[in-house]
Amino acid sequence: MMLSVIIPVLNEAPTIGRIVQFALADPNVDEVIVIDDGSTDGTPETAAAAGAKVQTSSMLGKGASMHDGLLLARNELLVFMDGDLTDFSQNLISTLAEPLLSSRVDLVKGQFSREAGRVTMLTARPLLEVFFPEVSWIVQPLGGLIAARKTALAGMSFENDYGVDVGLLIDAAMGGLRIAQVDVGHITHDSQSLERLGRMARQVTRTILQRARRHGRLDEKLLDEVWEIERHTESELSSSLHGMHGHDPIVLLGLDRVVLRGTFAFEVARRHQRGREVASLLSQRGLDPEERISRLAEALAGLERRQFEEAAREAEINPGVLETVRALRKAGRKVGVVTDAFYIGAEIVRRRIFADFAIAPSLHFEDVRNSGRVRFPSAFKNRRGCALHKICPSNVIWKLSAALDVEPEQILVVGAPSRDLCLLREAEAALSYDPLMEDSVAGQELPVSRRIEDVLGML
């Protein structure tokens, strides 16, 4: 049987060409699939020139890319590789896949000579020893070198962050699949910053604890608290600044009616027979952001986390948004989604359009259900910011400017007047955008564009 090699990538132009050519040279490989996560450095073009089949991921995140590759692969036997490898043995693929090719196992994890990383030693291994001793013998549970049968992975849940590899390992073990570990020699990866390692540790912890709850090995209240802490941490500005550098020009996009054709809260409500109450709240122009979002959270109380996530994954994105975000990032801009709607939706949508970060209030969930309570990120609070509201999305402009040493005129805001008026007023550079409105906004003196691509003309 032949192998399909799947390589999720993000800005790996210096290494991806060599990796693709290496994979295609293996006599057991007749297909190399590169799933691109919105690269801006020419990675997809380099991979295609080297002979790979290239596709853009359906959503930002390694897990979505791996799953997209699985669906695209024509072979039953799959090999997953990282796109940033710089030093590896010439028989890497054949060694990793040998237990599959000999029909002895369903999933193979690669073990390599580099010492296990800090997250593995300090987070993954201790948790696995406690909750899943069945897989505690795997030396590199977080490693991205995996060989597996397509049919074995088809029904599994692919986490869309650093938890994906250990999540698949646990699912395979608990599903009774045959697992092997093989030594593939020496491997060299790009080093990770301490900040990124911290994020990885949180996500790996959450994934292992989620699986522990699923299999009756953990008290649910403890896991809910871990989940809430992680989500609230991710919604803060300090987490959003991960990977950003001083003086980077920034574009801030509103979520409702800018990125999305409609309004996220209403989309959630409409699906679950609460549309009338939410529509009434959204239409009340006299409410300040804190009161409106608090009342919206209460109106959607009792709905499950997955119901918010499904709405975010399926909500209609305005034409031109994805192409514009790609063009902005290729031009060296950082792109963020800022909204007074809910972070649980904003984060999924920003991954769908390959934006760099999202900042929004976060709902509080208890036993996977929305409690009706909401927490506002500290970036929404600024005594010297918005003169009208104590808590306001427009304060993000000043917090970003101070944190990254960026002049306010280097932060372009693209917002809908009906939803992002304070953001537009506070911005030194702003584009008022709403494809569903007339060419002027009564009493606001804000020109309105119907084309999101007009943002490029302002840069």
Residues 419 and 275 both lie in one domain: yes
Where in the sequence is the domain holding 406, given as residue range(s)? 244-458
Q: What's the chain's average pLDDT? A: 87
295 inside domain: yes
Give pLDDT, residue 314. Answer: 96
Which range is least confidently modeled, 12-21, 354-363, 401-410?
401-410
Q: Which of 169, 202, 235 is the last residue of a domain?
A: 202
CATH number at residue 374: 3.40.50.1000
Tokens standing for residue 322: 């994805």
218 inside domain: no
Residues 248 and 196 both lie in one domain: no
Are the C-beta atoms of residues 406 and 422 closer than 8 Å to each other? no
Tokens standing for residue 418: 């009906």
Q: Which of 258-272, 420-434, 442-456 has the highest mean pLDDT?
A: 258-272
Give pLDDT, residue 441. Answer: 41
Residues 175 and 281 both lie in one domain: no
Given a cut of 90, whether residue 113 has pLDDT beyond it is: no
Give pLDDT, residue 244. Answer: 65
227 inside domain: no
CATH number at residue 47: 3.90.550.10
Give pLDDT, residue 295. Answer: 95
208 inside domain: no
Which range is least confidently modeled, 13-17, 127-131, 174-178?
127-131
Given a cut of 80, whether residue 2 has pLDDT beyond it is: yes
How would residue 440 be classed by pLDDT, with cut points 50, 70 and 90? very low
Which range is least confidently modeled, 32-46, 60-74, 406-420?
406-420
Nearest to residue 157, comparing CAs of 370, 306, 344, 4? 306
How would residue 438 be classed by pLDDT, with cut points 50, 70 and 90? very low
In the chain, how many domains are there?
A: 2
Element (H, E) at 369: strand 369-375
Instruction: Classify 292 as helix, strand or coil.
Output: helix
Residues in the chain, overall count: 459
Given a cut of 90, whether residue 193 has pLDDT beyond it is: no
Give pLDDT, residue 85. Answer: 84
Which residue(s) pair with 18 in the sheet? none
Helix pair angle (343-353, 305-314), 10° resolution:
30
b/e per residue, 103-117, with b = 16+ CB within 10 A?
eebbbbbbbbeeebb
Residues 129 and 266 both lie in one domain: no
226 inside domain: no
Q: Note the pLDDT tens digit of each residue in 90-106.
A: 889 999 999 999 988 99
Give pLDDT, residue 114. Answer: 56
- DSSP H helical segments within 102-139, as ranges? 118-119, 125-131
384 inside domain: yes
Given a cut of 50, whether residue 367 has pLDDT beyond it is: yes
pLDDT higher at 269 or 448 = 269
User: What's at 113, amino acid-wise?
Assistant: S
Residues 142 and 251 both lie in one domain: no
Which residue(s) pair with 54 in the sheet? 34
How would residue 64 be classed by pLDDT, with cut points 50, 70 and 90? very high
Give the pTM: 0.79
